[in-house]
């Protein structure tokens, strides 16, 4: 019996090898956030290989390290926030945005006894408050953008305390040394679970459909091998459909890949829906983000970042998928979303 099992195992490994053999390879870097889960779905369900690309995933804890690896040609694709690639591009890195991975996701946490004071749908509740954040994180840039849109001069009316890590932000809120803190997933869920802290607001309540992690690649590679990147995005489009229609299996795939508590992933992904895993490039969102970075004083240069955004590969991939399944509701919605945001 054992011999048969071994034979079957060897046969399946060989088949797997043959199946992936000869396909163009992409090394893809990501950071461990639940909303980056489309990669794991596409991998687990075989969508990458179906599309004709062999993808190897590499996890990074640092966006700077990840982008440095991309720049050095050690990665072919990177998903490392929006701030970091824009900063690299502004300093001359030849990256191109080709897609997205996460929309929204950042939250403002506080101690439970402060929740009532910070409730409501108006950002004015944060006037005069001391808020901890990780400088240049997505939450930092977008929250300041939201405050500006609401007519609040955050430089005068809010005191921001810059912390070195999201763990320090949670600690400061928990100790009560600040009134609130800006954190990203899964840290607000962990803060609720481990310290009893509460989410006062998700930033998306004030700033709908803002960009978080974007998919970037080296411009020269995108131009030289457009077809491989189209295959890659085709797989992510199919993974998005799976994520929207198979919650239970998706949660299991995310949990297995990220080693994060299954219930936290379920809550964030399908109950509270704190972020959307979406491969759309969101060109308008990237340009808006860049403007917010300039307004916050993080970049003083006027650089035309638009020439580093390629939406056509994603559009071609989406069109090809829709051509195969023209009546699929999810794909039609993706097309409408694309038209609105690009």
Sites of contact with other proteins (CB under 8 A) = 27, 29, 31-33, 58-69, 71-75, 81, 83-84, 87-88, 91-94, 134-137, 162, 164-168, 184, 186, 257-260, 298-301
Number of CB atoms found within 10 A of residue 174's CB: 17
Closest approach of Cβ 161 to other proteins, in Å? 9
The closest of 88, 201, 203 to 138, measured between CA atoms, is 203
Q: Are 80 and 216 in contact (CB under 8 A)?
A: yes
Distance CA 231, CA 276 (A): 22
Residue closer to other proteins, measured from CB, 98 or 182: 182
Residue closer to other proteins, measured from CB, 12 or 165: 165
Task: Return the C-alpha torsion angle 81, 198, 204, 80, nearest 10.
Answer: 10
Distance CA 228, CA 52 (A): 8
Number of CB atoms found within 10 A of residue 81's CB: 28
Residue closer to other proteins, measured from CB, 71 or 195: 71
Closest approach of Cβ 83 to other proteins, in Å? 7
Helix, strand, or coil here: 236?
helix
Closest approach of Cβ 4 to other proteins, in Å? 31
Closest approach of Cβ 152 to other proteins, in Å? 20
Radius of gyration, CA atoms only, the chain: 21
Residue closer to other proteins, measured from CB, 300 or 323: 300
Helix (H), strand (E) at residue 188: helix 187-195
Residue closer to other proteins, measured from CB, 6 or 223: 223
Q: What is the DSSP letter of 193?
A: H
Residue closer to other proteins, measured from CB, 151 or 297: 297
Q: What is the DSSP letter of 309?
A: B
Closest approach of Cβ 74 to other proteins, in Å? 5
Distance CA 211, CA 209 (A): 6
Angle (CA) 111-117-122 rounded to 5° is 115
Closest approach of Cβ 320 to other proteins, in Å? 31
Closest approach of Cβ 226 to other proteins, in Å? 22
Residue closer to other proteins, measured from CB, 197 or 260: 260
Closest approach of Cβ 164 to other proteins, in Å? 5
Distance CA 214, CA 216 (A): 6
Distance CA 77, CA 215 (A): 7
Residue closer to other proteins, measured from CB, 60 or 338: 60
């Amino acid at each position: 019996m054992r011999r048969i099992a071994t034979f079957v195992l060897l046969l399946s490994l060989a088949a797997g090898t043959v199946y992936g053999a000869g396909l163009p390879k992409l090394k893809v870097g990501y950071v461990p956030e639940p909303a980056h889960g489309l990669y794991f779905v596409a991998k687990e369900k075989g969508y990458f290989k179906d599309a004709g690309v062999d993808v190897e995933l590499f996890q990074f804890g640092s966006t700077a390290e990840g982008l440095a690896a991309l720049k050095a040609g050690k990665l072919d694709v990177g998903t490392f926030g929006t701030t970091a690639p824009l900063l690299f591009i502004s300093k001359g890195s030849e990256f191109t945005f080709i897609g997205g991975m996460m929309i929204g996701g950042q939250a403002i946490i506080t101690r439970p006894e402060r929740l009532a004071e910070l409730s409501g749908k108006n950002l004015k509740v944060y006037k005069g408050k001391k808020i901890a954040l990780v400088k240049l994180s997505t939450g930092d840039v977008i929250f300041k953008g939201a405050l500006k849109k609401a007519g609040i001069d955050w430089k005068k009316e809010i005191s921001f305390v810059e912390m070195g890590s999201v763990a320090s932000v949670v600690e400061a809120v928990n100790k009560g040394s600040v009134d609130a803190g800006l954190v990203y997933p899964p840290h607000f869920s962990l803060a609720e679970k481990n310290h009893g802290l509460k989410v006062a607001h998700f930033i998306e309540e004030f700033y709908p459909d803002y960009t978080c992690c974007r998919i970037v690649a080296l411009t020269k590679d995108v131009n030289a091998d457009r077809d491989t990147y189209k295959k890659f995005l085709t797989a992510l489009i199919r993974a998005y459909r799976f994520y929207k229609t198979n919650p239970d299996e998706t949660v299991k795939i995310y949990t297995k890949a990220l080693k994060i508590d299954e219930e936290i992933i379920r809550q964030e992904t399908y109950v509270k829906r704190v972020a959307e895993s979406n491969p759309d490039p969101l060109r308008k969102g990237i340009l808006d983000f860049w403007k917010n970075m300039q307004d916050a004083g993080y970049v003083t240069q006027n650089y035309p970042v638009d020439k580093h955004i390629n939406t056509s590969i994603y559009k071609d991939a989406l069109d090809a998928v829709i051509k195969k399944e023209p009546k699929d509701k999810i794909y039609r919605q993706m097309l409408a979303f694309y038209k609105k945001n690009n």
